[in-house]
Chains A and B, each alone.
Chain A
Amino acid sequence: MDQYKLFIDGEFVDAADGKTFDTIDPGTGLPFATVAQAGNADAEAAIAAAKRAFDSGVWSGLPMAERVAKLQDFADQISQQGVRMVMTECMDAGQIVGYAKIIVMWASLLMRNLSTYALTKFPMEEEISASGNAFSPGREFIVREPIGVCVGIVPWNFPTALAMWKIAPALIMGNTIVVKPASNTPLTALILAEAAKAAGIPKGVFNVIPGPGGALGKTICTHPDVDKIAFTGSTEVGREIMRMASDTVKKVTLELGGKSANIILDDADMDLAVEGACFGTFLHQGQICESGTRVLVPAKFYDEFVERMKKRAEAIRIGYQLDANSHMGPVVSKEQLATVEHYVQLGKEEGAELITGGKRAAVPGMEGGYYYTPTIFANVDNKMRVAQEEIFGPVVCVIKYNDDDEAVAIANDSIYGLAGGVFSSSIARAEGVARRIRTGTMWINNYHVFAEYCPFGGYKQSGVGRELGKWGLEEYTQVKRIHVPAFSDRNTNFPFTMLTDNKKMEGFSYTCPTAIIAGHGSLSAIYKSVVELGCKRAMILTDPGVRAAGLADLVKSALVDFCVGIYDKIPQDPDLESVDGAVEKARELQADCIVSVGGGSVIDAGKTVCVALKSGGKANDYINRWFALDEPQTPHIVVPTTAGTGSEVTNAAVITNKTAGRKLFIADPRITPNAAILDPRFTLTLPKGMTVGSAMDAMTHAVEAMTSIMANPICDGQALNAIRLITENLPLVAADGSNEKARLNMQIAATTAGWAFTIAQVGLAHAMAHTVGTLHHVPHGAACGIVLPHVMRFNVDHAAPKLAQVAQALGVDTHGMSERDAALAAADAVQALMQKVGHPMRLRDVGVPEEGLGLCAFHAMADSNVMFNARPAGDPGEIMELFKQAY
């Protein structure tokens, strides 16, 4: 008989204690090779060798291209051993020769194809273009690294293929591996070891230790130097392995049992379905975990189907596995044969009707072999043990059902969830059923189809993780995230400020993606803007008031043939539903560009429409997400009809969730509009109250941006310019709304203030304004104006230099004043401006009840803008005092 040895640290060696065992040909029941039997000392030696090899970097440290080149040599060596491997696989596992030829060839192809895929397509490194963290910008990426020492525990049904499912991904990804083949079928793993050695795989990278799992299991599953275990076998053993691995928190992938349903729908091609049902069950004597051993057949043709299955099963030729005429060979061992017989007896006792088979098969000249006839049970209740427990032999249960829902329920009534099949003449119907089955694989009009790029693994108690394909490769890697900040500076690190008193940010980045076209008649530019954005189908988004004023039609005219429609149902404070309505309309019109004509509400709605239109789904899918978009959105052009929000250049959108009763937002650079057209004609009809209110919104943006802990000279320049423009032009437009030049200056002021706060954020005044807006429906601009002077005074000792500059921009003569007095004068100047233009001065004037101030204070403290305020504002008592002052 042939002698086989263990393969440890690149050498074929005897077991430390000298033990050997015989391996049996199940077709004859006779031994045909002697194999060294690994004990715990050998397992320790193999793990130590794998650990040394991994730590040395001789394999894990190779560039992927060099590793793959070695593995391609390995695949070639497997091919060279092809005939020997096929013969050995047949004699070890009982696979018929026609099938073993395919399996062995696949083992070589699998290594070749998966390694090439890993080299050319698998993402060993990935950029995270949108991190979701607005406070710590920088490069975010992941690298995939090998896990370390892997243990591959291989079952006896496919000793070559299932060894390769573990060896290939482990080695491709740079791990080292110790393979423990099943004691029934240890030989082909050792031939693979010969191939690895011939290919020059470094010593210790690949080790093979045949031996009983019961004796070796504890060592290989608890050893501290083992980092990952990949096991194919029973659910009970998988559970035990998981338990043992948990002590040292090893990674595990488990491919466990199954009791898969093969569902024959009532419109199935009967010939195909009968063949599929028999192939799904009897291939390799039913010793395949995903076998479709529960065939679900509609009552409509149940009897006929069973009769045809019987004829087909009885036509299967049983014979010695190396006889090319055999369709089925032996089961793997006498123990397995006894198990099959036990379950068949159990099925009969449970009341299942034995249609055919149910006995050993006689193969002339092979009387010692373990042959069993294809066996069909009909009239099986799914609760029977034969329908619930895996038998792992050529035994199928045919179960009757009445409709698709019942078939799905029966299929899912199992602790397992490995695979299944659906046979139907309607692919759509079959796919619908397949999607309802809780398993890791479903085949339609087919069965037992595997491919190296397709994942395999189970739901429920059929396993953990996936093998094969990119998913299988991922299981053999660890993901390391690497963060490189945009600023390596302790004074430009927002999270660091949690432990310091200096909250001010020094460094900054500034992106200005919006093209600004400003001036009388600038609307004409929209025609070219659409072209520059590569669009041809613009939908105008507006509100009923703007539509009625004729402004939307003015834009439509300017767009000529590029306008595909106008959606004019955006309300003040747009909600999710109104955005969804606009998205639906845009999809219907096949719009490729959104033109928002209106104030902040319309523009914010437009930003959200652009996201949903590009990325699919509804508005709610994108709300309350920060810096999460990783690609440009649907192009967006805005034509503001107010001068205040600055939304035409900002990266935020506020949308109301009526169900939650809250205003929510998206903050992301990807939603900043592509172009803004500031044509003063669009603000000429704005009423005085809205003109003044929105102007104070812009003023507050500018002042709070300047005093923010995120402020920088670019933002300061924009903010000061905005303050100057508002100071000079607001009284003019308040006095004469038709003053087009002043209107344009107010638009420019709002835009530059928008830029300023996009860079530096806003502060406590906005937090307080949001609160009275939400709780007491005070218009945002009016609320901002009323609280701003009080917040400026509150901040005076934390922002005096900035507020002094604000005072100058507000026209205050600060000569001779201390910086602090100048700062306080700025607050006075804001109030004076408000009085001059007729802006409300107190919260009581805009309907806020005095008894509501306490709740407002708590809400304001929780507003995210507070964190950017010049002076820390964490005391609700202080904020309450400010509300009282503003009251």
Chain B
Amino acid sequence: MSLVKLDATASQAVESLLSEKGSQGPVRIELQFTGCCDPSLGLIVDTARESDLVEEVDGLTFVIDPQTHDLAGEVSIDYKDDNGRDVFILTSANTIGEWDGLITCSLRT
């Protein structure tokens, strides 16, 4: 099983955002909390840690810590243009939170 799966538009969007930020990545898939009762998966430009699981997709490097991977399983990343804001919908093989599939995230630095 792969760590991450992303469609072409998501791949282009991540690449473009990294380029704007002058970064090579990697992009971390992490657990985030955006308030009151809703943990979810998010994306952040980060450095790799020794224990991380690493996967390259379309020339982009994604990292995820093993515990999060165990919890989430494979993560699919879809892109959405939200009124000019680049956001991503992360869907994991295993449910993380109540609002999986609806909640969006941006690529943070």
Q: Give residues in A with beta carbon < 8 Å to B.
A: 155-157, 182-184, 212-215, 217-218, 232-238, 240, 255-258, 287, 289, 334-336, 338-339, 341-343, 389-392, 416, 462
Contacts and interface: CB of A to CB of B under 8 A. Distances in A.
Given A334-B71, A339-B31, A341-B67, A257 B36 contact: yes
Given A335-B97, A342-B30, A237 B67 contact: no
B66 to A, nearest CB: 11
23 contacts: A157-B36, A157-B37, A214-B103, A215-B101, A232-B37, A233-B35, A233-B37, A233-B98, A234-B34, A236-B40, A236-B105, A237-B38, A237-B102, A238-B35, A240-B99, A256-B36, A258-B36, A334-B71, A335-B39, A335-B71, A338-B71, A341-B67, A416-B35
B95 interface: yes
Interface string B93-109: 00111111111110000
Interface string B36-62: 111110000000000000000000000
B68 interface: yes
Contact of A236 (B38, B68, B71, B100): B38
B38 A240 contact: no
Contacts of A258: 35-36
Residue from B71, B101, B102 whose CB has the most chain A CB atoms within 10 Å: B102
Contact of B68 (A234, A237, A338, A392): A338
A702 B62 CA distance: 88
A214 B98 contact: yes
B32 interface: yes
Contact of B103 (A182, A236, A255, A392): A236
B37 A217 contact: no
B103 A240 contact: yes
Contacts of B99: 213-214, 217, 233-234, 237, 240
B98 A212 contact: yes
Contact of A234 (B30, B31, B37, B101): B37
Residue from B32, B39, B67 whose CB has the most chain A CB atoms within 10 Å: B39
B104 A240 contact: yes
Given A335-B39, A335-B71, A392 B33 contact: yes
Interface size class of B (residues with CB under 8 A): 20 to 34
Contacts of A233: 35-38, 98-99
Contacts of B31: 335, 338-339, 342
Given A214-B102, A342-B65, 18 more contacts: A182-B98, A214-B101, A215-B101, A217-B99, A232-B36, A233-B35, A234-B34, A234-B36, A236-B34, A237-B38, A257-B36, A335-B96, A338-B31, A341-B67, A342-B67, A342-B68, A343-B33, A392-B33
A166 to B, nearest CB: 14
Given A213-B98, A214-B99, A234 B38 contact: yes
Given A236-B105, A335-B71, A214 B100 contact: yes
B103 A212 contact: no
A392 B67 contact: no
A289 to B, nearest CB: 4
A416 B33 CA distance: 13
Closest 7 CB pairs of A and B: A257-B35, A234-B38, A155-B37, A214-B101, A236-B34, A234-B35, A339-B39
Main DSSP-derived SS at the B contact region: loop
B67 A389 contact: no
A257 B34 contact: yes
B37 A235 contact: no
Contact of B102 (A155, A217, A232, A390): A217
Contacts of B40: 234, 236
Residue from A157, A232, A336, A341 whose CB has the most chain B CB atoms within 10 Å: A336
A183 B34 contact: no
Given A213-B99, A335-B96, A342-B30, A289 B71 contact: no
A213 B100 CA distance: 8
Contacts of B34: 234-237, 257, 389-390
Contacts of A391: 33
Nearest to A21: B95
Contacts of B37: 155-157, 182, 232-234, 287, 289, 392
A449 B34 CA distance: 24
Nearest to A244: B102
Interface string B14-29: 0000000000000000
Given A214-B98, A214-B102, A237-B99, A338 B67 contact: yes
Contacts of B65: 342
B36 to A, nearest CB: 4
A416 B36 CA distance: 12
Contacts of A255: 36
A462 B36 CA distance: 10
B81 to A, nearest CB: 13
Residue from A157, A233, A343, A391 whose CB has the most chain B CB atoms within 10 Å: A233
Nearest to B67: A338
Contacts of B97: 335
A390 B36 contact: yes
A258 B35 CA distance: 6
Contacts of A416: 35
Contacts of B101: 214-215
Contacts of A336: 39
Contacts of A236: 34-35, 38, 40, 103-105
Contacts of B95: 212, 335
B36 A392 contact: yes
Contacts of B102: 213-214, 217-218, 237, 240
A210 to B, nearest CB: 11
A236 B108 CA distance: 14
Contacts of A341: 67
Interface in B69-94: 71
A342 B67 CA distance: 9
Contacts of A389: 32-34
A390 B33 contact: yes
Contacts of B36: 155, 157, 232-235, 255-258, 289, 390, 392
A95 to B, nearest CB: 14
B35 A212 contact: no
Nearest to B97: A335
Contacts of A155: 36-38
B38 A183 contact: no
A688 B97 CA distance: 89
Contacts of A214: 98-103
B78 to A, nearest CB: 13
A256 B68 contact: no
Given A233-B38, A236-B104, A341-B67, A184 B33 contact: no
B35 A289 contact: yes
B52 to A, nearest CB: 12
B93 to A, nearest CB: 13
A213 B95 CA distance: 11
A232 B37 CA distance: 9
A338 to B, nearest CB: 5
Residue from B36, B67, B97, B101 whose CB has the most chain A CB atoms within 10 Å: B36
